[in-house]
Structure 1
Amino acid sequence: MSAAYVRRTYSVPAKRGMRVTVDGQPGVITSFRGGQLNVRLDGQRHPVPAHPTWRVEYLTEDAAG
């Protein structure tokens, strides 16, 4: 599944390279697989899967500044 599929199906702004928090832990979206996000959490070497709407907060440019 692609980023476009995830955005359309779950109505989220997900895109590769976007900062997110997953269950309170910050990270970055690295890829999409099977309708899920792969997120590399800060300080970790490998990405973990995350459902696009379950405990995920999408951080926009406005939130950073």
Structure 2
Amino acid sequence: MSMEYIRRTYGVPAKVGGRVNWRGGRHPVAGTITGSTGAYLMIRLDGQHHAMPYHPDWFIEYIEAEPANV
């Protein structure tokens, strides 16, 4: 499955290089989307060496890029 599949199926703005907050623990942890495996996102949390699979809409907050100055 692809990132496009994940975006369509779960209605999320997932993209490689996108920033997220994982809220499944005591405190939110920021991370970066590195790819996908099946219907899961591969996310490398800040401070970790390897990406791990996370469900696209389970405790994930997508951080939107700041709007461009016009």
TM-score (norm 2): 0.85
> What pairs with 1:11-30 in structure 2 (closer than 5 Å)?
11-23=11-23, 24-30=28-34
Instruction: List 4+ stretches of structure 1 deviating above 2 A.
Output: none
Point out where structure 1 has 5 or more consecutive residues left out of the alignment.
none
Question: Larger Cα Rg: Structure 1 or Structure 2?
Answer: 2
The residue aligned with 1:61 is 65
Structure 1 length as normaliser, TM-score?
Answer: 0.91
Code of the aligned partner of 1:40: R
- Kindly report the root-mean-square deviation, in angstroms, between the aligned alpha carbons of the 2 structures: 1.2
Deviation at 1:62, TM superposition (A): 3.1
For residue 4 of structure 1, what is the amino acid of its counterpart?
E
Partner residue of 1:37?
41
Structure 2, unaligned stretches of length 5 or more? Answer: none
Structure with the bigger percentage of helix: 1
